Structure 1
Amino acid sequence: MRLFLTGIGVVLLLAGCGGVKNFGSSLKYDIMAEYYLEQQTYTQGASSFRRILDEDPGNAKAHYYYGRMVLAEKQYGEALSHLQQAALGRPESGDCLFWLGVAYGKNNNPAKERASYIRVLQLDPNHVGALVYLGHNLLKAGEHEKSLARYQQALDLNPHHAQALYNRAFILRKLGRSPEERIAWLLYLDSYPAGKFANLAADRLNTLENYSYRNHNLGGRVVTLTDVGFVPFKDELLDYTRESLDIVGTILSEMRQGTLQIEVYQKNDNKLAKKRALALRSYLCKKFPQLGAARRIEVSWFDVPESRVVLKKRLTIDESVRFVVTGADEKRYIKAEKNKKT
Structure 2
Amino acid sequence: MDVERNTGENRELIDSLKRLDLEDVPDGLTQDIMDRIDSGSGRGIMAWLREFFVKSRPVAFSFRPVYVCAVLILVCASFLAGRVSVEPQREVALAPTPQTSRVLSPTPHQTSPLAIPEDVEGSYQAYLMGRALLESEKNVQAMRMFRKASILEPDNPEYAYWEGVGYWRLGYPEKERLSYLRGLESDPRSVPLLINLAHNYLSQQEYEKALEAYSAVLTVSPDEPAALYNIGLIARQLGRIDDETAAWKAYLDVIRVGKFAYRAVERLNAYGDYSYRLYQVGVRKVILAANVLAGEVFTEADVRRELAPLATILDSDRRIQLDVVVFKANDSVYAYNRAQDLKKILVDMAASGGAERIKLSWFDEPEVVERENMQPVELNESLLIFSSVIEDKQEV
Q: 2:67 is matched with which residue?
A: 30
Choose between structure 1 and 2 for higher RCO, CA contacts under 8 A separated by at least 6 residues. 2
Aligned-pair distance for 1:136?
A: 0.9
1:121 and 1:127 in contact (8 A); partners too: yes
Do structure 1's residue 175 and structure 2's residue 214 form an aligned pair? no
Q: 1:257 is matched with which residue?
A: 319
Alignment of 1:130-169 (within 5 A): 130-169=193-232
Q: 1:8 is matched with which residue?
A: none
Which of residues 301, 317, 320 in structure 1 aligns to 2:362?
Answer: 301
Q: Distance in 2 between matches of 1:102 and 1:186?
A: 31
**Superposed CA offset, 1:148-179 (max 9, x none):** 12212333343333322222232123222233
Q: 1:280 is matched with which residue?
A: 342
Aligned-pair distance for 1:46?
A: 8.0
Alignment of 1:179-258 (within 5 A): 179-226=242-289, 227-231=292-296, 238-255=300-317, 257-258=319-320
Mark the CA change 1:109 to 1:18 in structure 2 (over 3 Å): closer, same or farther: closer
Quick one: which amino acid aligns to residue 261 of structure 2? A
Mark the CA change 1:97 to 1:258 in structure 2 (over 3 Å): closer, same or farther: same
**Superposed CA offset, 1:259-306 (max 9, x none):** 22322223344554344334322332343363526x332333343414
Dislocated runs of 4+, deviation >6 Å: 14-17, 45-48
Structure 2 residue runs of 5 or longer lacking an equivalent are: 13-63, 84-118, 392-396
Q: Distance in 1 between matches of 2:80 and 2:139?
A: 13
Do structure 1's residue 117 and structure 2's residue 154 form an aligned pair? no
Q: 2:144 is matched with which residue?
A: 84
Which has a greater percent of helix?
Answer: 1
The alignment partner of 1:253 has SS state of helix
Quick one: which amino acid aligns to residue 183 of structure 1? A
Quick one: which amino acid aligns to residue 131 of structure 1? L
Q: 1:333 is matched with which residue?
A: none
Which of residues 114, 123, 128 in structure 2 aligns to 1:65?
Answer: 128
Q: 1:321 is matched with which residue?
A: 383
The alignment partner of 1:301 has SS state of strand
Mark the CA change 1:231 to 1:201 in structure 2 (over 3 Å): closer, same or farther: same
Mark the CA change 1:280 to 1:154 in structure 2 (over 3 Å): closer, same or farther: closer
1:83 and 1:96 in contact (8 A); partners too: no
Mark the CA change 1:65 to 1:204 in structure 2 (over 3 Å): closer, same or farther: farther
Aligned-pair distance for 1:308?
A: 5.4
Mean CA deviation greater in 27-36 or 93-102: 27-36
Quick one: which amino acid aligns to residue 68 of structure 2? I
1:267 and 1:318 in contact (8 A); partners too: yes
Quick one: which amino acid aligns to residue 188 of structure 1? Y
The percent identity for this pair of structures is: 31
1:255 and 1:328 in contact (8 A); partners too: no
**Superposed CA offset, 1:186-218 (max 9, x none):** 333334455443333344344444444333222
Q: 2:79 is matched with which residue?
A: 44
2:139 and 2:169 in contact (8 A); partners too: no
Aligned-pair distance for 1:241?
A: 0.9
Mark the CA change 1:116 to 1:269 in structure 2 (over 3 Å): closer, same or farther: same
Aligned-pair distance for 1:249?
A: 1.0
Mark the CA change 1:313 to 1:150 in structure 2 (over 3 Å): closer, same or farther: farther
Structure 1 residue runs of 5 or longer lacking an equivalent are: 1-10, 20-26, 49-55, 330-342
The alignment partner of 1:231 has SS state of coil
Aligned-pair distance for 1:145?
A: 1.5
Q: Distance in 2 between matches of 1:68 and 1:324?
A: 50
Mark the CA change 1:69 to 1:253 in structure 2 (over 3 Å): closer, same or farther: farther
Q: Distance in 1 between matches of 2:73 and 2:371?
A: 46
Task: Return the TM-score normalized by structure 1.
Answer: 0.68
Task: Return the TM-score normalized by structure 2.
Answer: 0.60
**Matched residues, number:** 297
1:169 and 1:185 in contact (8 A); partners too: yes
Q: Distance in 1 between matches of 2:187 and 2:342?
A: 53
Quick one: which amino acid aligns to residue 33 of structure 1? A
Mark the CA change 1:84 to 1:208 in structure 2 (over 3 Å): closer, same or farther: farther
Aligned-pair distance for 1:256?
A: 5.2
Aligned-pair distance for 1:144?
A: 1.2
1:94 and 1:124 in contact (8 A); partners too: yes
Aligned-pair distance for 1:130?
A: 2.2
Mark the CA change 1:261 to 1:109 in structure 2 (over 3 Å): closer, same or farther: farther
Mark the CA change 1:139 to 1:253 in structure 2 (over 3 Å): closer, same or farther: same
2:150 and 2:163 in contact (8 A); partners too: no
**Superposed CA offset, 1:14-60 (max 9, x none):** 899959xxxxxxx99833334578xx889339889xxxxxxx74454
Quick one: which amino acid aligns to residue 223 of structure 2? H
Q: 1:102 is matched with which residue?
A: 165
Alignment of 1:5-16 (within 5 A): none
